[in-house]
């Protein structure tokens, strides 16, 4: 009897073992020589030959290239704590990660080469081999479409869930904890500026944003909305509202104490279930239902929040201020508007992308300022500019910090040639703060927001503060992760070292900016190339005079022609009859 049982048990065991081996061999990624070859040719210089994210180029990069040996992947279509799917990895390789140094490889590697690399990357982390079940995917089926109402709900959640702590009140990544964040590897990391969605690593579609909420961004401080990281996890919307009301009271009645106590218990229970689930414990049907109900609310709220985040950015990165988008200062007859005047809202912004200064040591390889946007008005005697740029931190002095290093003062410099070039082939000063030919610079620093210094600069190491500081009106402010700087100057000055402005003349303009918290200081900064702007001449009144004249002349010509032909016909008829 016992023998029979043992035999039966052995057969069963053997069968299970056989099946699991089968499963194991099916799931193990194929390590092909091809994948290794492509990886070493195209990926290893950043991600390292061992996949540790320590290739030779990694030193100067931030965000750092992914370390594949820990199985932590930021951009996934899978739930929190899960590995990415092969498709996820394939898509990141194909499309790249905007705002980082990871490019898309669609043009450079063939489809099968990209798949080979996916398989090869997976060999760096044993977890891919060991996982027996496919990763749980995030469901997109109950998407809540974009609407003003949904955006409003999302806006409320944005505050309630504590997003503002990192991403700031209006989403520019300027929350109070923004300067303190590090990733799983101890490298510094900045919360996303939600107003610049072209830099979102995993894409800017509402679905992409939604997936980051449910799945989290593994390895970064961005949490997944599950369990205790989600506000009132496990409560229905009504219960959540009720609890918020009670929590906001100065003192609760005994009844309310009891009611809130029950709600806390309910939340604790739901969090425990979520933890069990993550650990792989099988859930009882009741627990499963509790989890599903809790997650349904999380999903709903995440869609609203995703819609809100989507509303914070323009459709795409604005076009650079060249060609048709060149900055044209608008003429107005009266006094120029001051900072905060509504007149500024009538103008389109001109967008100037800024990139790290990597020409001269010390170089800035990992800029944090994306761009500066400019508007301008002028009248018969003066010109006013409004410069706007996002900076997550407001630094007005040099500060030493053990964890994040030294931070410096924020600032911006606007650079012009001393004289506008006479023609397109006329020599300009060197774009990076001049050289043999000097540039005329307005330098503004965050510590003195209502002052600007006029400089004459002949290269980054040859800066002279002008003796004659002209009569410039300046007003600067920092608000919610954004600097706004208003500058007004007379078109003409008495100083030979100043640029003299005239309507209708295109003038080169370039920018330097400093985010002190990112280590920008002096030569280390973000910069732009030369662009140009013009004080747009008042449209000539000729456009109302010439067209009517043309109309009259054309009509006259047509009638004249007909008259001429008729007369000639008459003459020829006469001569015909005479003959």
Partner 1 sequence: MKRISLFTICFIIFIGSWVFLQFVIGGVISKPIPNSVIGMYMALVLVAILVHVSVEDSRFLEFLRPIHETLVDDKYRVRRLVLVIAIPVLLTGFTYTNLAQKTPPPGDPRDAHPTPPLELKYKDEVIETMQKAQNPYRHYEKDDPEAFKSHVENGRRVYYDNCFYCHGDHLDGQGHFAHGLQPLPANFQDPGIIPNFQESFFFWRISKGGPGLPASGTPWNSAMPVWEDHLTQEEIWDVILFLSDYTGYKYRTFGEGH
User: In whole angstroms, what is the distance from residue 156 CA to residue 308 CA?
Assistant: 9
Minimum Å distance from CB 575 to partner 1? 17
Between 67 and 82, CB nearer to partner 1: 67
CB 495 within 8 A of CB 470: yes
Single out the residue of 109, 34, 104, 40 nearest to residue 75, CA to CA: 104
Residues in the site for partner 1, rule: CB under 8 A? 42, 45-46, 55-57, 59-60, 100-101, 103, 105, 107-108, 320, 322-323, 326, 328, 353-356, 358-361, 365, 423-425, 427-432, 435, 437, 504, 506, 527-532, 534, 536-537, 539-540, 542-543, 546-548, 550-551, 554-555, 558-559, 561-562, 565-566, 569
Minimum Å distance from CB 372 to partner 1? 11
- Output b/e per residue, 361-394; b: 16+ Cβ within 10 A: eeebebbbbbbbbbbbbbbeebbbbbbbbbbbbe
Minimum Å distance from CB 481 to partner 1? 21
Between 456 and 528, CB nearer to partner 1: 528
Between 145 and 423, CB nearer to partner 1: 423
Rounded to a whole number, what is the distance in angstroms from the first to the last CA of the chain? 142
Minimum Å distance from CB 152 to partner 1? 34
Minimum Å distance from CB 369 to partner 1? 11
Q: Tell me how many degrees the CA angle 249-255-256 measures, rounded to the nearest 5.
A: 30
Minimum Å distance from CB 150 to partner 1? 32
Minimum Å distance from CB 505 to partner 1? 10
The neighbour count for residue 63, using CB atoms within 10 Å, is 21
Give the CA distances from residue 234 to residues 278, 295, 337, 498, in Å, rounded to whole numbers and listed in that order: 16, 8, 53, 66
Single out the residue of 353, 321, 404, 317 nearest to residue 526, CA to CA: 353
Residue where the block lists tokens 């999903």: 299
Single out the residue of 345, 316, 482 nearest to residue 412, CA to CA: 482
User: In whole angstroms, what is the distance from residue 260 CA to residue 254 CA?
Assistant: 10
N residues, the chain: 579
CA 97 to chain centre: 11
Residue 508 contacts by C-beta under 8 Å, 6 or more apart in sequence? 416, 417, 420, 421, 428, 530, 531, 532
The angle, 0 to 180 degrees and rounded to 10, between the axes of the packed helices 111-122 and 86-95 is 120
Minimum Å distance from CB 541 to partner 1? 10
Between 15 and 559, CB nearer to partner 1: 559
Between 252 and 505, CB nearer to partner 1: 505
Between 198 and 264, CB nearer to partner 1: 198
Residue 548 contacts by C-beta under 8 Å, 6 or more apart in sequence? none
Between 128 and 531, CB nearer to partner 1: 531
Residue where the block lists tokens 């390889």: 365
* Tokens found for residue 329: 């200062």
Give the CA distances from residue 350 to residues 164, 331, 347, 374, 559, in Å, rounded to whole numbers and listed in that order: 28, 16, 9, 5, 49
Between 427 and 578, CB nearer to partner 1: 427
In what helix (H) or strand (E) does residue 385 lie, and over which residues does it extend? Answer: strand 382-390
Minimum Å distance from CB 77 to partner 1? 25
Between 415 and 443, CB nearer to partner 1: 415
Between 81 and 459, CB nearer to partner 1: 459
Minimum Å distance from CB 430 to partner 1? 5
In what helix (H) or strand (E) does residue 440 lie, and over which residues does it extend? Answer: strand 439-445
User: In whole angstroms, what is the distance from residue 357 CA to residue 570 CA?
Assistant: 81
Between 224 and 439, CB nearer to partner 1: 439
Minimum Å distance from CB 223 to partner 1? 27
User: In whole angstroms, what is the distance from residue 254 CA to residue 258 CA?
Assistant: 6
Residue 346 contacts by C-beta under 8 Å, 6 or more apart in sequence? none
Between 45 and 497, CB nearer to partner 1: 45
Minimum Å distance from CB 172 to partner 1? 20
């Amino acid at each position: 009897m016992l023998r029979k049982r043992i035999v039966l048990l052995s057969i069963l065991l053997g069968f299970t073992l056989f099946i699991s081996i089968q499963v194991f061999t099916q799931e193990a990624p194929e390590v092909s020589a091809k994948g290794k070859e492509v990886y070493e040719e195209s990926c290893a210089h950043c991600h390292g030959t061992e996949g540790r994210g320590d290739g030779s180029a990694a030193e100067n990069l931030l965000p750092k290239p992914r370390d594949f040996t820990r199985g932590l992947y930021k951009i996934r279509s899978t739930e929190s704590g899960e590995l990415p799917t092969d498709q996820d990895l394939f898509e990141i390789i194909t499309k790249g990660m905007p705002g980082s140094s990871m490019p898309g490889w669609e043009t450079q590697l063939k489809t099968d080469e990209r798949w080979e690399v996916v398989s090869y990357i997976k060999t760096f982390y044993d977890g891919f081999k060991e996982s027996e079940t496919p990763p749980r995917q995030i469901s997109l089926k109950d998407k809540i479409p974009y609407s003003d109402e949904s955006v409003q709900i999302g806006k409320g959640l944005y505050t309630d869930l504590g997003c503002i702590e990192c991403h700031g009140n209006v989403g520019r990544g300027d929350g109070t904890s923004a300067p303190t964040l590090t990733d799983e590897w101890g490298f510094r990391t900045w919360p996303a500026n939600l107003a610049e969605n072209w830099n979102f690593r995993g894409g800017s579609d509402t679905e992409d944003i939604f997936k980051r909420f449910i799945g989290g961004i593994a390895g970064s401080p961005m949490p997944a909305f599950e369990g205790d990281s989600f506000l009132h996890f496990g409560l229905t919307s009504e219960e959540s509202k009720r609890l918020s009301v009670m929590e906001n009271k100065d003192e609760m009645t005994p009844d309310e104490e009891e009611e809130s106590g029950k709600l806390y218990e309910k939340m604790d229970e739901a969090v425990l279930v979520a933890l069990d689930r993550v650990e792989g414990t099988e859930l009882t049907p009741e627990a499963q239902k509790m989890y599903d109900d809790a997650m349904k609310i999380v999903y709903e709220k995440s869609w609203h929040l995703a819609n809100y985040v989507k509303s914070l950015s323009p459709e795409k990165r604005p076009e650079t201020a060249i060609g048709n988008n060149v900055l044209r200062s608008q003429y107005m007859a009266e006094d120029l508007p001051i900072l905060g005047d509504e007149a500024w809202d009538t103008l389109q912004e001109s967008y100037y992308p800024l990139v790290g200064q990597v020409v001269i040591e010390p170089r800035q390889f990992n800029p944090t300022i994306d761009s500066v946007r400019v508007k301008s008005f002028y009248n018969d005697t003066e010109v006013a500019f409004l410069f706007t740029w996002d900076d997550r931190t407001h630094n007005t002095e040099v500060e030493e910090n053990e964890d994040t290093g030294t931070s410096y003062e924020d600032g911006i410099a606007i650079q012009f040639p001393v004289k506008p070039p006479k023609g397109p082939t006329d020599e300009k000063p060197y774009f990076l703060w001049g050289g043999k030919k000097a540039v005329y610079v307005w330098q503004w620093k965050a510590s003195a927001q209502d002052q600007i210094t006029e400089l004459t600069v002949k290269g980054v190491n040859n800066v002279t503060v002008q003796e004659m500081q002209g009569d410039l009106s300046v007003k600067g402010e920092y608000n919610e992760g954004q600097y706004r700087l208003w500058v007004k100057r007379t078109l003409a000055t008495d100083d030979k070292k100043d640029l003299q402005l005239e309507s209708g003349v295109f003038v080169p303009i370039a920018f330097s900016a400093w985010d002190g918290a990112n280590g920008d200081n002096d030569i280390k900064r973000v910069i732009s190339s030369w662009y140009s702007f013009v004080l747009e001449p008042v449209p000539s009144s000729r456009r109302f005079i010439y067209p009517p004249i043309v109309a009259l002349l054309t009509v006259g010509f047509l009638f004249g022609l007909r008259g001429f032909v008729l007369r000639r016909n008459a003459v020829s008829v006469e001569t015909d009859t005479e003959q």
